[in-house]
Amino acid sequence: MTEGPQALSLAEQIATQLADSIINEEYAPGARIHEIAVSEQFQVSRGPVREALRILENAGLVSIQPRRGAIVTNLTVAEVDDIFEIRAVLVGLAARRLARSSPPKNLSQIEERIAKLQHLTTQADQDAARYVTISQELSFLLCAGTGSEQLTSIVYSLFHQTIRYTRIGLSTPERRQTSAKTWAKLLEYIRAGAEDDAERTARELVDNSRAMAIKMLRSEEGTS
């Protein structure tokens, strides 16, 4: 998991772990999550499990259906298009604000993670999951660097909705190489205080992942 709000309730802790299982495809789209099995897994009553599943429903990861319970949602082109357009605006705003306050207080953390992305793209056996995790951390750092708790909270609330699609959007070595170069370019604009270029480049990062995710989802639809 990436950094986020602390002091989670029991239901939120269960929801977080179930979300990770969905993201890592331990629960496939269309799979049912059984309340009894989850309560036994975490050794809790079914009350916190039900609350956790409602949290996942609000996050768009499951759909709670009559007589069937919680079903893992399918990845759809329409959802990708909608969520990533929203995310692009938010991340673009964060980058603009960060460039405006250049240099931001957390610039060294941003630099460190971008360097890690660049290093990962040079490895023969690339760790795609690690790349996605670091890129998500960078998005949170951009927001945190603005000093706006509201902006950071909103972007974090979209985390589980976007992470599945981000993994698809960064699933090839070529996409990750392009992404790392774009992050490096964004860093240059933030250092230079170039607000317009920083916002445009941050939105480009999200838009590129959206385009790739949509392309692969449509390809899967065509072969199913």
Q: Please tell me the pTM assigned to this model.
A: 0.82
And the tokens for 88?
A: 């692009």
Return the percentage of the chain with pLDDT > 90, whole number.
67
- How would you class 138 by CB atoms within 10 Å of its CB: exposed for 0-12, middle for 13-18, buried for 19 or more? buried
pLDDT digits (tens, 9 = 90+) for 150-187: 999 999 888 877 888 888 889 899 999 999 999 999 99
d(CA 131, CA 163): 12
63 has which bridge partners? 71
Please give the backbone phi and psi of residue 130, each rounded to the nearest 5 degrees, phi first: -65, -40
Query: Residue written as tokens 């269960």?
Result: 14
Peptide bond into 103 cis (omega under 30): yes
Average pLDDT, the chain: 90
Could you read off the pLDDT of 42-59 as tens digits, one per residue? Answer: 999 999 999 999 999 988
> Residue 98 and residue 186: Cα distance in Å, rounded?
11
Cα–Cα distance for residue pair 189/159, rounded to 1 Å: 25
Q: Say whether pLDDT at 112 is over 70.
A: yes
Alpha helices for 101-172 (secondary structure H): 107-120, 128-145, 149-157, 159-169
pLDDT of residue 221: 72
pLDDT at 207 over 50: yes
